[in-house]
Amino acid sequence: MEIVIFGAGLAGLSAAEELARRGHQVVVLEKESSYGGLAATVKRNGFEYDLGPHRFHTSNESILDFVKKLPGIDFLKLNRVSRIRLLDRYFDYPLAFSNVLSTMPPHKGIGMMISFLWESIRGLFAPREQESFEGWVLSRFGRGLYDLYLAPYNEKLWGIKPSELSADWASQRITVPSLAGLIKETIKPSKETVRSLVSTFHYPKGGIGEICKGLVSRITGNGGSVRFSTEPKTVIKQGNKWRIELPDGFVLCDKIINTIPVNKYTNLLGDILPPEVHKAASDLKFRGLVFLIVLLNSDVTSSDHWIYTSEDRYLFNRLSISRNFDPNVGSQVVFEFSCQENDKTWKMSKEELLNSTITGAEHLGLFSSDMVVDADISRTAFAYPIYDLKYAKNAMVVLDALEKLPSSVTCGRQGLFRYNNMDHSIEMGKFAALEILGEASVKEHFNWDENTWTDG
């Protein structure tokens, strides 16, 4: 078969690798000039950096074995170090109750416990709604921890109020389900390792982009091709074939695997889908990210892989230290700024972001202005699906319609509007390929419950 795949991220390339290895004609179309999506290592103007911190870990041994055997992969095994900067203090992340109490100012710690106890009593008589992030978190952690960290960080990350954010985000990504659970987990850790609490992870020497580089090598080695700087314009059904209009012509194929944002794929399909599907797709929103990479003339002494910053004094919401992932990388710090495409933060120049960031970095004790050698900037408009209160309903309308579309499969974080991890994307890509071949189903393979996607 002739199969076209939209997007050269982990999901798209994994699907292409599976199909090319089986002897099918595969073409991957990627609008950017290189592969990887968010799991890319940017190499530009003397810089070499990942788009934020990435850690590869999985409970699926076959996926781990598959990645380890990709060309050029040489895994480092690292012990995770991540923290939260709050109240001019560092707190361990994931949160541990003993660390919170020992680090928190006493009056804050007491207030946190009182608010939790009050919330527990309140819940007996007037339970909070459980549809929103706000209601879910307040009922389980109390207002103390909610107001101090959970609400400010998530509003900064998503750009919407916690009352407008779905509880799905909390249930999927906050691994310990309550403050009581946090205390219990601290005193007597559960026997089963929770994804978010995984203390070790794998990281490929040379950057996280080495995984996609290995996939591309496999694809081209089996006769497939990857076309960069190529964005489809329209998709038309022409008899038993798909006709994909490109800026420089068109391509015909038997089947399509989509991994680009599902609302963009819906637009490409035009009149093939009814108006109500297009309306639901237009209401699905993605959060963008701007990355500022600061090159330094000496090492940062922190051992953290990444640090979360929820307070307004920092424009960035997270930073990562490249050398703590791979000691062969130069001394640099990667800062992440959540935003929407074309908003104020998105439009800020490198110099504006750098000036703001240096002030924050100095306050954190990471580096001073005289240590800065150079900076680089990268932007991505479709980083995270936004789980607003209507996302599940809208996503269901769109995905149900796409599932009924013959000779087409959508998968991956953007393609399924699902905040999944790297191992999930690889596994989804493989099963999308099997679905195209009539051998399996992405939808039927995954459990699709909150525990499937938990991570931190």
Asked if residue 329 lies in contact with residue 323, where contact means CB atoms within 8 angstroms, the answer is yes
Cis previous bond, 127, omega within 30 = no
What does the alpha-carbon distance between residue 4 and residue 408 come to, in Å, rounded to a whole number?
A: 10
Q: What is the pLDDT of residue 127?
A: 94
What does the alpha-carbon distance between residue 185 and residue 192 come to, in Å, rounded to a whole number?
A: 11
Question: What are the structure tokens assigned to 158, written together?
Answer: 């998503």
Helix (H) / strand (E) element for 68: namely helix 61-68
Q: At what angle do helices 10-21 and 422-436 cross, to 10 degrees?
A: 40
* 3 state DSSP class of 397: helix
* 3 state DSSP class of 142: helix
Contacts of 355 (CB under 8 A, 6+ apart): none
* 3 state DSSP class of 245: strand
Predicted TM-score (pTM) of the model is 0.94
The pair phi, psi for residue 394, each rounded to 5°, is -65, -45
Length of the chain: 456
Which of 377, 449, 397 has its CA nearest to residue 420? 449
What does the alpha-carbon distance between residue 228 and residue 448 come to, in Å, rounded to a whole number?
A: 32
Strand partners, 27: 4, 225
Strand partners, 320: 306, 334
Which of 186, 119, 125 has its CA nearest to residue 147? 119
Question: Is 400 exposed, middle or buried (CB count within 10 Å of its CB: 0-12, 13-18, 19+)?
Answer: exposed
Give every residue of the chain whose pLDDT is below 50, as ranges: 195, 456
Asked if residue 56 lies in contact with residue 67, where contact means CB atoms within 8 angstroms, the answer is yes
Asked if residue 175 lies in contact with residue 94, where contact means CB atoms within 8 angstroms, the answer is yes
Contacts of 262 (CB under 8 A, 6+ apart): 281, 284, 395, 398, 399, 402, 410, 414, 415, 416, 417
Beta strand pairing call for 255-258 and 286-296? unpaired
Domains of the chain, CATH where assigned:
2-35+60-74+205-284+388-453 (3.50.50.60), 83-195 (1.10.3110), 286-385 (3.90.660.20)
